[in-house]
Amino acid sequence: MTMTDVKSRCFVCGASLSNDEIGIYKKMINRGATECMCLDCLSRELGLPKDALLERIEHFRRMGCTLFT
Ligand SMILES: [Zn+2]
């Protein structure tokens, strides 16, 4: 699966998304998502601080998750 089938902007605020932001959205919300949120909107949605999401991204990367290469 490539990133090209996912929209590259946050569907809430329109910010452009990094691969990490797309990856964490898929992990936390929906593995098959084609539209994603930026970290700011996702942290608001989940009620989690942005730092917690960044930690999770690092955690998944260390686990070798292919969404965070
Ligand atoms: Zn956003």
The domain tally of the chain equals 1
pLDDT band at 5 (very low <50, low <70, confident <90, very high): confident
Contacts of 28 (CB under 8 A, 6+ apart): 42, 46, 53, 56
In the prediction, which pLDDT does 49 show? 97
CA of 42 to the centre of ligand 1 (A): 7
CA of 23 to the centre of ligand 1 (A): 14
What's this model's pTM, rounded to 2 decimal places? 0.87
pLDDT band at 1 (very low <50, low <70, confident <90, very high): very low
Question: Range of 13's domain?
Answer: 3-68
Among the listed residues 9, 12, 19, the one whose alpha carbon sits nearest the alpha carbon of residue 67: 19
Per-residue model confidence as pLDDT tens digits over 20-66: 999 999 999 999 999 999 999 999 999 999 999 999 999 999 999 88
In the prediction, which pLDDT does 4 show? 55
